[in-house]
Amino acid sequence: MRILIDIGHPAHVHYFKHFAWEMQKKGHTIFFTCREKEFEKYLLNYYGFEFKSFGKKYKSLTGKILGLIKFDIKEFFTGLKFKPDIFLSAGSIYAAHASWLLGKTHITLEDTFNFEQIKLYLPFTDVVLTGDYEHPLKSRKVIQYAGYQELAYLHPKIFQPDKNILKELGVSENEKYVILRFVAWNASHDIGLKGISVENKIKAVKEFEMFLKVFISSEITLPKELEKYKIPISPHKMHEAIAYASLLFSESSTMASEAAVLGVPSIFIDKKGRYYTKEEQYKYNLVFNFSETLDEQLQAINQGIDLIKNNNVNEIWQLKRQKMLADKIDVTAFLVWFVENYPESFRIMKQNPHYQYNFK
């Protein structure tokens, strides 16, 4: 089988890397396409995947419209040359359009539920794989599985953090630290959002620094007074760093969920929120969701301080994580089975959704 995987965000490389390795072991051929947002090319190169970059993403609305045409054409011609049996993505409009034009199957993962994007890919997509939490996407094409996309690379069966990361961070084994994650707010699902104010970013750092070491991961250039806190590790080691953190304070829903599935307290600040981080809060008490109003930004900082001051928080969160993992499946194992056995796998999941628990 020949599979073309389209990448639209650095996290997508992680979603599909274990799937790709497993499929390659089985003799299937994998090829990636991507646009450049932050670390896509770095990660694809680091993990040794064959890929083609279509260039930088556009930030303006006009640029995004131009990009839709440009990247559609590039994806089509790449598919024409590679001749995939299946296109795979995480909400890629370009993979959907190219697969339809080439008469091939498109299977997508979905967890942001940005309907401006969904309307552009759903008519051309065969299957949409989503978590089994409540969400607004209702379609015969939807298959729900018991998991989060982050479990495709952070499930304990495939990820065990390496404590050598502490040496790279310059912290001792018993020293606490917090990671703050700031985003650029230029994705299509970020329109109208602006995140944490500069003043409250600085306030959060100063408040947290009174209790533990502070590191910042940021998509954007940091204010001068925060530059010294930039986390000093390679991008592919971020999950190791999160695993040993005492807290993640984040504008990124993906990173908030990564912390949650690793059993690390996380605070997510975003006006819209995400359906999966809400489940991680209300069902498993792993995440705290706040909107981006100035009042809630301050509440989020205070919540962070409360968590930092709790000396038993890591043990408590690991117990919560075990409860969550008991309900969820190994997402990569499920995805390998689903793609390898498509379309029979689609029929099986429609008739017997519990079949997925063979992949615990």
Higher pLDDT, 64 or 114: 114
Q: Are residues 211 and 281 in the same domain?
A: yes
Buried b / exposed e over 309-322, threshold 16 CB at 10 Å, is: eeeebbeebeebbe
Where are the alpha helices (H) located in 28-159, listed in sequence order?
Answer: 40-46, 61-82, 93-102, 115-121, 151-154
Q: Are residues 169 and 147 in the same domain?
A: no
Q: Are residues 11 and 88 in the same domain?
A: yes
Higher pLDDT, 188 or 250: 250
Q: Are residues 184 and 261 in the same domain?
A: yes
Before 84, cis peptide (omega within 30)? Answer: no
Amino acid at 332: T
Residue 335 lies in a domain: yes
Mean pLDDT of 11-40: 96
Q: pTM for the complete prediction?
A: 0.93
**Euclidean distance between CA atoms 181 and 126, whole angstroms:** 34
Q: Are residues 22 and 110 in the same domain?
A: yes
Find the domain containing 303 and state its range.
165-326
pLDDT of amino acid 185: 57
Q: Are residues 136 and 150 in the same domain?
A: yes
- Domain of 24, CATH number, reads 3.40.50.2000
Residue 64 lies in a domain: yes
Amino acid at 52: K
Residue 254 lies in a domain: yes
**Euclidean distance between CA atoms 78 and 86, whole angstroms:** 13
**Euclidean distance between CA atoms 121 and 139, whole angstroms:** 13
Query: Is pLDDT of 221 > 80?
Result: yes
Q: Are residues 147 and 11 in the same domain?
A: yes
What token pair was written down for 160? 């065990």
Residue 264 lies in a domain: yes
Please tell me the total count of domains within the chain.
2
Neighbours of 296 (CB within 10 A): 15
What token pair was written down for 309? 């001051």
> What percentage of the chain has pLDDT greater than the value 90?
89
